[in-house]
Amino acid sequence: MTRLGLVCTVLGLACAHPTPRGPVATSNPASAPKLASCADAPAPYLAELCAMGEPSLSVTGPETYRFVWTRHLRNPVAVRVTRAGATGTAVIVVEGDAQDPAAQRRHEFTVGNDVWISLRAHLDAADFWNQAGDPDEDERGLDGADWALEGRRGGVYHSVIRWEPKPGPFRTACEDLIKVSGVSFPEELR
């Protein structure tokens, strides 16, 4: 069993993250399948989310977006934003520890709606809800980071994963969440 799987099993974590493929209807949280351990997650970044204690966005809930950054031997980061009323946006940032999955840093705060408005504009420009979920094989590499962007809106869940995305609206939407996180990402991201 991997260290990540062991930590998830010991902590009793059970996650119901779907395999990223394309837009799917959100499910009732009670009917969502539970994993025996985070190591059973159907995609690598989902195991990281499970270990971070992050909830599945594939179950019903308010409109929410989450950026997940994973890179071999680097601390994974998840930045989740949810509209918090008419004047604010709730932000939850979790930075995992690549050496010790049980150790993590979690920050929760609220920012103005300008973050939400900017993110939604960039998601619309990227045509996020119609993008293919998984990257093609020729869009992968040996070294670099996976960028996953998940969204839940109006009963629909969608995730898009790209390896080192090129400049453009998708990357800009992810960068919106990097900026609001306050986490120091490696210099090559800037």
What number is the average pLDDT over the span 156-171?
A: 88
Q: What is the pLDDT of residue 6?
A: 32
For range 59-87, the mean pLDDT = 86
Report pTM. 0.78
| Residue range(s) defining the domain that contains residue 16 | 3-182
Whether residue 187 lies inside any domain: the answer is: no
Residue 190 located in a structural domain = no
pLDDT value at position 92?
A: 95
For 24-38, 134-148, 172-186, which range has the lowest pLDDT when averaged over its residues? 24-38
Residue 189 covered by a domain:
no
Q: Give me the pLDDT at residue 86, please.
A: 79
Per-residue pLDDT reduced to its tens digit, 4-34: 333 333 334 444 444 555 676 666 665 555 6
Give the CA distances from residue 186 to residues 18, 71, 81, 173, in Å, rounded to whole numbers and listed in that order.
Answer: 29, 11, 22, 18
| Confidence check: pLDDT of 51 > 70 | yes
Domain-located, residue 118: yes
Q: What's the number of domains the chain is made of?
A: 1
Tell me, what's the pLDDT at 27?
Answer: 67
Q: Please indicate whether residue 55 or residue 118 has the higher confidence score (pLDDT).
A: 118
Answer whether residue 106 is part of any domain: yes
Any domain includes 31: yes
38 vs 114, higher pLDDT: 114
Distance of CA 72 to the CA centre of its chain: 16
Average pLDDT over residues 130-143: 64
* Contacts with 188 (C-beta within 8 Å, 6 or more apart), sequence order: none
Exposed, middle or buried by CB within 10 Å (0-12, 13-18, 19+), for 66?
buried
Strand partners, 153: 156
Report phi then psi at 130, rounded to 5.
Answer: -110, 0
Whole-number average pLDDT of the chain: 76
At residue 168 the predicted structure's pLDDT band, cuts being 50, 70 and 90, is very high
Does a structural domain hold residue 146?
Answer: yes
Whether 166 has a pLDDT exceeding 90, the answer reads no
**Which of 131, 129, 121, 135 shows the shortest CA–CA distance to 173?**
121
Q: And the tokens for 166?
A: 């090129």
| CATH number of the domain where residue 96 is located | 3.30.1560
Q: Please name the residue that has the structure tokens 């009793």.
A: 12
User: For 114-131, how does the pLDDT look when each residue is reduced to its tens digit (9 = 90+)?
Assistant: 999 999 999 999 999 998
Whether the CA torsion 49, 54, 56, 57 is positive or negative: it is: negative
pLDDT of residue 12: 40
Residue pair 155/25 in contact by the 8 Å Cβ criterion? yes
